[in-house]
Amino acid sequence: MSKPESTYDVIVVGAGPAGYVAAIRAAQLGLKTACVDHWTNINGDPSLGGTYINAGCVSSMALLESAKIYDLMRHGLADHGISVENIKLDLPKMIGRKNEKIARLSRQILNVFAEKKINYYHGQGKLLNADQVSVTPADGAKPIKLNAPNIILATGSTSIDLPCAPIDNEFIVDTTYALNMTSIPKRLGIIGSGVIGLELAGIWNRLGSEVILLEAQESFLPIVDHQIAAEAYKIYSVQGLDLRLGARVTSAKKTNNKVVVDYQNPEGSHTLRLDKLIVATGRKPNSENIAAPEAELLLDENGYIHVDENCCTTVPGVYAIGDLTLLGPMLAHKGLEEGVFVAEHIANRHNPINYNIMPSVIYTDPEIAWVGQTEQALQAIGQKYRTGTFTLKSNGRAESIDKTEGLVKIITHAETDLILGIHIIGANASELIAEAVLAMEFSASGEDLARTIHAHPTISEVLHEAALAIENRSLHLP
First-last CA distance in the chain? 63
**Residue among 206, 181, 158 nearest 277 (CA):** 181
Residue type, 14: G
In 8-123, which ranges are continuous DSSP H helix? 17-28, 50-54, 57-75, 91-115
Cα–Cα distances in angstroms (integers) from residue 19 to residues 54, 322, 427, in the given order = 14, 8, 31
- Rounded to whole angstroms, how far apart are CA atoms 417 and 435? 17
Angstrom distance (rounded) from CA 261 to CA 192: 14
Sheet with 268-274: list strands edge to edge. Answer: 248-255, 258-265, 268-274
Q: Alpha helices, DSSP H only, in 76-208?
A: 91-115, 175-178, 195-206
Does residue 333 carry a catalytic annotation? no
Kindly name the residue from 75, 456, 464, 476 that is annotated as catalytic. Answer: 456
Could you give the CA distance from residue 225 to residue 227 in angstroms, rounded to a whole number?
A: 6
The whole-angstrom separation of Cα 475 and Cα 478 is 9
User: Active-site residues: which are they?
Assistant: 456
